[in-house]
Structure 1
């Protein structure tokens, strides 16, 4: 009995010790955070949703960017339960701090009127340029309020005088290194929601990106001239590609993403200006497509040159998708009326493995390759696609596509 009581007392004392150490650690972290946190409100930002807080955000950024502290980390804090209106703004680097945390707990909104961009770059809203060690995260929201631009889009309003194909991207990360975007919600961008360009080492994790299915050119994430990019654990549903992969990209990893509505995950379009394309080592794994126009897509222009190689589409599920698997090597301005050319982007070593689900059209697998520059090294392994319409069958369609099939492949391949 005495031994049992002693053990109980000892266990309780140990628990109290651990609890005290834990609490001390929290207090220490809070104190440390207080010494590092820069609240945008302290620099004049007003969270009423109407006052322009752009200059205040820039002041906070410049304060943080220009100061180097002992542990190299500083925090910019956007407080919760407040809405901050930002006009077009660029957060420039490089910064002295080795790591900057941009903690977004409140809402950041864009001006509605395109007139705000008069005299400015109409392709940009929030831009981060040449910043390394940037970590943007939080439970807040970034709202592009893009309907002002959508209402003057030439795609949707071709007869409108003064219509434009230009519109600002919500967030641009240009020439940034070892940075990340996590947890935040992005909605209703005027055009692309997130652009990652000229960047090496970037992680997008647990983000949610949404815009109406009818909104023009509102890609979720576009990647260009970038390497070592990871997009994972995210939900993306917009009016265009969930993720689009542009030229000069390598080592792109997309996994555990829910895509829809939208145009799927696309490599391309590539080679539009007749340039030499270089895209390789692309991995798309564990993605669900629901009601999208395309699923796993590669699209290149006939006038392009160069290559797309080393692509893996694996563990994909399609729920009523128009084109679950599609390669279009004959992409042009007028769909279905492309003049055949002797040029083309070489597509080779593309693997489709463990893909299943339903197609909303008759052709579930489209491999539309150039007659001059064929697709080679294609592999279909364990594919099971059926029609989403009861009683209908699906089929494959191929032009100059070469490869092999392993295991069950339905519909039957047409190499």
Structure 2
């Protein structure tokens, strides 16, 4: 066990070197300048609006000439912060946002009237950002969930726009580490239009029935590592969206939730390019899906060079799942008529996937008639039913590839 932990640390360290996320100037060196939000007027009583204090502390740190300036959110304190953008670029090549206390979003959706309800906290255009500190971002999403059109589609006046908690947009060479994120109204952490990003040692939680509360969402980004985290939410533990490449998800405990998903892709009939996605060393516990790729019928483009390796399953409903026929009919999904369009899925490897399925179909590869899945590889698969005496099966449509080693249930791939 000690050797495994040591190897994980070496693995992360090596990727940090590759991504350029490690600096000889440690973020908490004696040369740093501290910008404590209390010094900028934060009340820290959990009731007063501390947004101006956080904004002022960030602007002072971002404009500081010293190396490694640090905004500090101190321990044993509760801060109420309204929607806020921490804007870059900053003067220093590295800047830290150290969260030791708790940052709270407004709990009532009514407070957001007249504000942009899409996002809560945004870090935009920052290079060398480090968000860390063992503190908590509390999205207070329960009232939003009750209003969500996803949760209550027939409710008059349901909310179509719901805030995501923490967004990293147009950032480079940045790290989010050791943070707790709880009860976001929508996605907890979003990495968007960014590159060379490390997300590690995260603890992300929301109730199992909370709608659209993805743990970590990556989209329009390159060179991202999501590593060594525990994610238990009401939606995808990790979701990977369009125009993303060189994404690695590893050493994740996932559940409850909807598993690790690539997609959905091509929802608006657009052309997507997703490639070099690697998911490994993930333990799924009671999730609705394990490893999933989902694309809309009207989409274009491709998703390719994808690997799922060294996966363990504990009572997972859809352990291995491709749905290339995603569609929306009168607000519901499924029963789709065949289209001549589609996102081409190819070069997907499933290797060393073991455990139990809570449904009969342990492998379900539902590909398009127009754009069949090609280059699919199944190797060393052993999935059994979590119910004594029951068998599981594979179901394939328009799926071509090869098998090696033990494949259980029996493969349904076409040559």
Deviates more, 1:152-161 or 1:368-377: 152-161
SS at match of 1:156: coil
TM-score when scaled to structure 2? 0.91
Distance 1:159 1:369 in 2: 31
- Aligned partner of residue 41 in structure 1, secondary structure: helix
For 2:88 and 2:27, locate their aligned partners in 1 and report how far apart those are by CA, in whole Å.
27
Cα offset for 1:34? 7.8
For residues 267 and 240 of structure 1, the distance between their equivalents in structure 2, rounded to whole angstroms, comes to 13
* Structure 1: 5+ residue stretches without partners: 1-28
| 1:211-258 deviation line (CA, Å, top 9, x unaligned) | 000001000011110000000000001010000000000000000000
Question: Is the 2:82–2:105 contact (alpha carbons within 8 Å) kept by the matching residues of 1?
Answer: yes
Q: Which residue does 2:128 correspond to in 1?
A: 133
**Unmatched 5+ stretches in structure 2:** 1-25
Whole-angstrom CA distance in 1 between matches of 2:52 and 2:30: 24
Maintained 8 Å contact 2:125/2:171: yes
Which aligned segments of 4 or more residues in structure 1 are displaced greater than 6 angstroms?
none
Name the residue aligned to 1:54: 51
CA RMSD of aligned residues (A): 1.3
- Please show how residues 375-386 of structure 1 align to structure 2 within 5 Å: 375-386=373-384
Report matched runs for 1:242-253 at 5 Å.
242-253=237-248
The two structures have a TM-score, normalised by structure 1, of: 0.91
Residue 37 (structure 1) shift: 1.1
> Does residue 151 of the first structure (1) align with residue 139 of the second (2)?
no
1:299 and 1:276 map into 2 onto residues whose CA distance is 14
Alignment correspondent of 2:346? 348
Question: Superposed, which structure 2 residues align to 1:203-352 within 5 Å?
Answer: 203-333=198-328, 334-352=332-350
Instruction: Write the deviation string for residues 359-410 of structure 1: whole angstroms up to 9, x where unpaired.
Output: 0000000010001110000000000000011111000000010000001000
Structure 1: distance between partners of 2:188 and 2:388: 37
Tell me, yes or no, if the aligned pair for 2:183 and 2:207 is still in contact at 8 Å: yes
Work out the CA distance in 2 between the residues paired with 1:50 and 1:336.
45
Partner Cα distance (1:409, 1:122) in 2: 47
CA separation of 1:37/1:371 partners in 2, compared to 1, >3 Å: closer, same or farther? same
1:196 aligns with 2:191: yes
Q: For 1:73-127, what per-residue CA distance to the aligned partner results, in whole angstroms no more than 9, with x for missing partners?
A: 1111111000000000000011111111111110111111112211121111000
Counterpart in 2 of 1:165?
Answer: 160
**Stretch deviating more after TM superposition (158-167 or 178-187):** 158-167
Shifted more, 52-61 versus 159-168: the winner is: 159-168
Q: What is the 5 A alignment of 1:168-179?
A: 168-179=163-174
Work out which of the two has the higher radius of gyration on C-alpha atoms and give 1 or 2.
1
State whether residues 27 and 94 of structure 2, in contact with CA within 8 Å, keep that contact through their aligned partners in structure 1: no
SS at match of 1:228: strand
Matched-pair contact (CA < 8 Å) for 2:344–2:371: yes
Cα distance in 1 for residues equivalent to 2:28 and 2:390 = 65
